[in-house]
Amino acid sequence: MRVLVTGGAGFIGSFLCERLLEAGQEVICLDNFFTGRKKNLDHLRDHRDFELVRHDITEPVLLEVDRIYNLACPASPVHYQYNPVKTVKTSVMGTINMLGLAKRVRARLLQASTSEVYGDPTIHPQTEDYWGHVNPIGPRACYDEGKRVAETLCFDYHRQNRVDIRVIRIFNTYGPRMLMDDGRVVSNFIVQALAGKDITLYGDGSQSRSFCYVDDLVRGAMLMMDQEQTIGPVNLGNPVEFTIRELADLVLEITGSKSRIISAPLPQDDPTRRQPDITRAREALGWEPRVQLREGLEKTIAYFDALLASDEVHRVRMS
Ligand code: NAD
Ligand code: UDP
């Protein structure tokens, strides 16, 4: 099996490349290195079944592959809002290019969609048949609407051209290899706590998220790709819900940090609650998360602790 992973140098993608190689598959990783790093793949570089290609998926590409995991797209609000038009292009033109490739070489394509398709949800927890509540003109729209169109494209290529698709809706996923300046809450709080800086709690911290450890997510994505029963969409996430204030308290407790929690403005359109209903994933894939938040945070904190102590961070700060 030859597998293409777009966005493979990023946080989730790098773990996916690793697991696919462990499963004996040939992996071609394609990335434009916007938020991805070659360093995430250093340990795979010499693997005989691994290739890394610099490419932007908004441009067409022709590769003989059997499967495509389409992960290319910045996921952190800070990064996807940096160049919103490019974010839309990546989700729309990029997904068209990847579906066109899948059609041409008869590959199966798995689309990394997101809980953001539900927007600020009016039903709780979110099931896959909920159509969502998204502001189409707000600052998050480039990502949310881009991902919604990407899902539309998957289903239209499936109906119109019989492209074999799989769609997963990923809920907040965290773990090692998130960027230090990523802007997402888990990496922000951990780096702030370890550096003894103030913890930036946006709003009053009563908004909730459900956090999935990266190993669980990658296992779910591979199960989804490898089964014949459902094309999706299927929610993948950890259904245990926490408020953001609870997350801040937990990070402080585990790190033993003396950082203060300070209040910062709540970003516009920040979803109030988010929790996946994973009945479909349980039934179709026999999947559920195994790593609970405390254990996942401990692993992620150990990663950032080592990184902060390393020369690499020093070099980044001096440059
Ligand atoms: P990430 O930012 O670490 O990874 C995205 C990767 O895509 C990076 O390597 C980046 O360089 C690459 N990329 C971006 N635009 C590209 C382009 N035009 N061409 C080629 N490569 C490009 O983010 P992540 O958390 O690893 O997310 C991976 C995927 O999962 C994304 O599609 C994201 O939308 C989706 N997702 C993630 C989460 C999460 O909580 N981590 C939640 C929902 C959905
Ligand atoms: N958040 C926060 N402090 C931060 C970063 C984020 O309180 O330093 C909040 C943010 O407002 C949101 C939640 O944490 O309510 C999750 O934010 P993230 O950017 O990680 O993901 P998303 O909003 O896309 O779920």
User: Is the CB of residue 94 less than 8 Å from the CB of residue 153?
Assistant: no
Q: What is the pLDDT of residues 26-41, one digit of tens each?
A: 999 999 999 999 999 9
Dist. CA 302–CA 129, nearest whole Å:
38
Residue 87 pLDDT greater than 90, yes or no: yes
CATH of 2-176+212-238+275-290, one of 3.40.50.720, 3.60.15.10, 3.30.465.10, 3.40.50.2300: 3.40.50.720
Confidence of residue 311 (pLDDT cuts 50, 70, 90): low
Ligand 1 centre distance from Cα of residue 184 (Å): 13
Ligand 2 centre distance from Cα of residue 161 (Å): 38
Dist. CA 79–CA 226, nearest whole Å:
31
Q: At 5, which helix (H) or strand (E)?
A: strand 2-6
Helix, strand, coil % over all residues of the chain, rounded to 5:
45, 20, 40
Q: Say whether pTM exceeds 0.75.
A: yes
DSSP 8-state symbol, 260: P
Dist. CA 189–CA 300, nearest whole Å:
11
Single out the catalytic residue among 69, 143, 174, 213: 143
Residue 312 pLDDT greater than 80, yes or no: no
CB under 6 Å to ligand 2: residues?
Answer: 77, 172, 184-185, 188, 200-202, 207, 209, 244, 266-267, 270
Confidence of residue 317 (pLDDT cuts 50, 70, 90): low
Q: State the closest ligand 2 atom to the C-alpha of 116, by its place in the atom list counted from 1.
A: 24
Dist. CA 110–CA 233, nearest whole Å:
10
Q: What is the pLDDT of residues 104-144, one digit of tens each?
A: 999 999 999 999 999 999 999 999 999 999 999 999 999 99
Provide the residue ranges of all domains of the chain, joining segments of one domain with +. Answer: 2-176+212-238+275-290
Residue nearest to atom 23 of ligand 1 (CA): 75
Ligand 1 centre distance from Cα of residue 181 (Å): 15
Q: Respond yes or no: is residue 202 known to be catalytic.
A: no
Measured CA to CA in angstroms, residue 279 lies from 120, 287, 288 at distances of: 21, 9, 9
Residue nearest to atom 3 of ligand 2 (CA): 201
Measured CA to CA in angstroms, residue 12 lies from 6, 144, 162, 209 at distances of: 11, 19, 28, 18
Sign (positive/negative) of CA torsion 206, 212, 214, 218?
negative
Q: Which ligand is nearest to the CA of 261?
A: 2
Q: What is the pLDDT of residues 3-56, one digit of tens each?
A: 999 999 999 999 999 999 999 999 999 999 999 999 999 999 999 999 999 999
Which residue, chain included where needed, has tokens 């990923």?
A: 170
Radius of gyration from C-alpha coordinates of the chain: 19
DSSP 8-state symbol, 265: P
